[in-house]
Structure 1
Amino acid sequence: MATIQVDTEAALDETEYLPGFADFGHFIGSDDSLSIYKKFGTLGARNLLYLQAELQLLEIQLNELDEEDKRIIATSSNDLEKGMAERAARSWEDLNEQANEGNEKQAGKLRMIYRIRKLMKEYEEALLRRNQVLELEKPEKSPFNAFKAWFRRSPPVLWGSGFRLLHDEEDMIALGSQDEPDRMSALMHRCLGYRLRVERETPKSWGPMYYYPVERVALIVALISIIVSAALLVGAIMALYFVKPMGIRLGLVGVFTTLFAASMTLLTHARRIEVYGATAAYAAVLVVFISVNN
């Protein structure tokens, strides 16, 4: 059996958490973007298949009982047996009454109906829950990298089955919104992240951890967007005002329109149809300005 080296100083440190699930839970709870868990895609599918197969078997057995009652009604020479089978097939009260009076065939059928009702509820709830799980998004790249680096430190955070948490990285999901940052925000994280990051007080065993204030980044990107939009509009109007040859004017419209479309793609999360619409409106404004000042 391997010998575990215990850090006595860390164990006595009040700022440290109990190693294992307690420590891991505090790490995940330190930031919403770290709420990353296994999806259990294969296991979830297998559970639904088992429920489905069990329901299919019950359906087959119920159909067999129906066929038996149908045969009795059609061919039996015993009028009492024939009448009882037909009443049980047509009346819920008669089915219950015959089952309570000891008719084993109808009692078995009633038990099967109750079993189907319970299992059908379980199956449908499992389907709906699984659908909700499948709608959850994969973790965003940056927090997932931080999650993996922290989990795979030495010694391992979790032992036993918990150690296999990241054996299949494609089987992970994240809670909450996982919208990818726009290109400008991502660029700022890479180039200016060191100046924007905020260090939080965390246990020493976690190592240095930095958090990026999303609000601050969003404000900077918004200011850049306003400045770029204003510059493209004012710059285009000024250029078209001073340039008189129509061929050059049309060329300038094409250049500024392309720059406007590129800025929207870079600075926003606008969808393609929204980029098309805004670009068309921008180009229309420039064309109207040319026609008015021709």
Structure 2
Amino acid sequence: MPGMSLSTSETAIGMTEIPITTEPTEDEIQRKPWKYIGYHGYAKFISSDDDFLLLRRFDTMSSRVALSLQDELTVIEEQLGETDATYSRREREDVNNGTMRDDLEDRRRLIDLAAEKLLRYNEFLLQHAAMKKLPSAPARDAKSIRNWHYNLDNAAISRQEQTYLDQSDLIRLVQQERTPLRKVIDSSLRLRTLPLWKTKKDDEEPTALPNYNVGQVSYYSNQRIDNFASSIIVLIGVAMLIAPIWILQALVTLELKLAIITVFICVFLLLVSFAMVAKPFEALGATAAYAAVLMVFIQFGTDTESSLPSLPLNATQTTG
């Protein structure tokens, strides 16, 4: 009947419509994080900060793959050597072993196979060498990610798929060169979580976290911490330049001045070596320049003292 068909059609259309619903509540998210968060939420979390983007380097497996590729090439090398030896025997028919263009088919296949395997082998070694240069991820970063999982009852993603965080070959993909002073701040939970560094993600940023993470994840500005560390280094540098000037000015004997200069040079070398990112030769060069500045000042002070006029102790004033 036409009426029945119309009713069925309307019912079918109504069933395919997806009703507009509100966002899940925090309680629902906490009870079913695997549904409302899952890997899409986890991926957004670890991409929200460079310190959270931790992945495995697979050191042991990479070494095993490299050994396997090496052995495949070794077998081809042995086969190629046997082929050359076979075609070079006296009792064999004459074969031109001095041509590439008219080489025998079986030897040509071995060389082509070796080229293919070598390309894969070399690419893998270069990639593995580059990965080995990446330092291991700090344990505190892996702990931060574990805390995120813990706050969601370890149910946002499969527990078994969280075990990569327990491996010893974790690396942080985005590497930042940090001064030793900055590393000291990072190593202290109290220092690196000072309210002074605290910041928040803009809601419009692609890496902004959903509302269910707002109260659980705290962000601290790397720029503020770096600026603070740089300011401390600058203040120490200024003090290292000004303090010896006043101390040397107050001293009389040359031996004491040289002793003070020696102390400041040693302290300066230690600061440059352990408080800033500097190579040994760069640290020595900066220390040599610093020592030259101090020696110029002490020479200037000595010349000034020697040029001052002196009066005899028994001088008397005469009047006309």
TM-score for the superposition, normalised by structure 1 = 0.75
Following superposition of structure 1 onto structure 2, how do residues 70-85 of structure 1 map, counting pairs within 5 Å? 70-71=88-89, 74-76=90-92, 82-83=93-94
* Distance (whole Å) between structure 2 residues aligned to residue 125 and residue 112 of structure 1: 20
Letter in 2 for 1:191: L
The match for 2:236 is 228
Answer with 30-39 or 222-231: which moved more.
Answer: 222-231
Q: Residue 132 of structure 1: which of 126, 130, 133 is its match?
A: 130
Provide the residue aligned with 2:247 in structure 1.
239
Change (3 A) 1:64 1:283: closer
* Residue 48 (structure 2) pairs with residue 41 (structure 1): no
- Matched with 2:277 is 269
SS in 1 for 2:209: coil
List, as ranges, runs of 4+ consecutive aligned residues in structure 1 with deviation greater than 6 Å: none
Choose which of 264, 284, 293 in structure 2 pairs with 1:256.
Answer: 264
Deviation, structure 1 residue 266: 5.5
- In structure 1, what is the equivalent of residue 112 of structure 2? 114
Question: What's the C-alpha RMSD, in Å, of the aligned pairs?
Answer: 3.3
Rounded to whole Å, the distance in 1 between the matches of 2:130 and 2:281 is 28
Aligned pair partner of 2:292 in 284, 291, 294: 284
| Pick aligned residue for 2:145 from 132, 144, 147 | 147
Matched with 2:224 is 216
How far 1:214 moved relative to its partner? 1.9
- Give 1:267 shift: 4.0
1:163 matched to 2:162 = yes
- Residue range with higher mean Cα deviation, 37-46 or 261-270: 261-270
Report the counterpart of residue 191 of structure 1 in structure 2. 191
The answer to whether the 8 Å contact 1:138/1:178 transfers is: no
**Deviation sequence 1:197-256 (CA, Å, 0-9, x none):** 224463355452222212222222333333332233222212222332334333332343
Which segment drifts farther, 284-293 or 36-45? 284-293
Q: Distance in 1 between matches of 2:198 and 2:41?
A: 23
Q: Which amino acid aligns with 1:172?
A: L
Task: Tell me how far 1:264 sits from its aligned partner.
Answer: 3.3
What secondary structure, in the 3-state scheme, does the structure 2 residue paired with 1:137 have?
A: coil
Partner Cα distance (2:291, 2:175) in 1:
34
User: Which residue of 2 is the match for residue 63 of structure 1?
Assistant: 81
Aligned length: 266
2-structure distance, mates of 1:197, 1:47? 44
Q: Is the 8 A contact 2:44 2:209 kept in 1?
A: no
Q: Is the 8 Å Cα contact of residues 157 and 163 (structure 1) preserved in structure 2?
A: no
Instruction: Write the distance in 2 (CA, Å) between the matches of 1:93 and 1:257.
Output: 69
Pair 1:272–1:151, CA change in 2 (3 A)? farther
Which digits, 9 at most, give the CA deviation of each residue in 1:236-288, with x for residues without a partner? 21222233233433333234334434443464223343333323332332233
Pick aligned residue for 2:171 from 170, 173, 181:
173
- Asked if the contact 2:136/2:172 (under 8 Å) is kept, the reply is yes
Farther-moved stretch of structure 1 (191-200 vs 180-189): 180-189
What SS is found at the alignment partner of 1:202? coil
- Segments of 5+ residues of structure 1 without an aligned counterpart are 1-6, 77-81, 96-105
Q: CA deviation at 1:177?
A: 1.9
Secondary structure, in 3 states, of the residue corresponding to 1:218? helix
Kindly indicate which of the two structures has a greater share of residues assigned to helix.
1
Q: Which residue of 2 aligns with 1:3?
A: none
Q: Which has the larger radius of gyration?
A: 2
Residues in 2 aligned to 1:208 and 1:65: alpha-carbon distance in whole angstroms: 67
Q: Indicate how the Cα distance of structure 1 residues 244 and 269 shifts in structure 2: closer, same or farther if over 3 A, else same.
A: same
Using a 3 Å threshold, how does the CA distance of structure 1 residues 162 and 244 change in structure 2: closer, same or farther?
same
Asked whether 1:29 is paired with 2:47, we answer yes
Quote how far apart the aligned CAs of 1:48 are: 1.4
Q: 1:128 to 1:213 in 2, by over 3 A?
A: same
Percent of residue pairs bearing the same amino acid type: 25
C-alpha displacement of 1:41: 0.7
Q: Following the alignment from structure 1 to structure 2, what is the Cα–Cα distance between the partners of residues 255 and 94?
A: 77
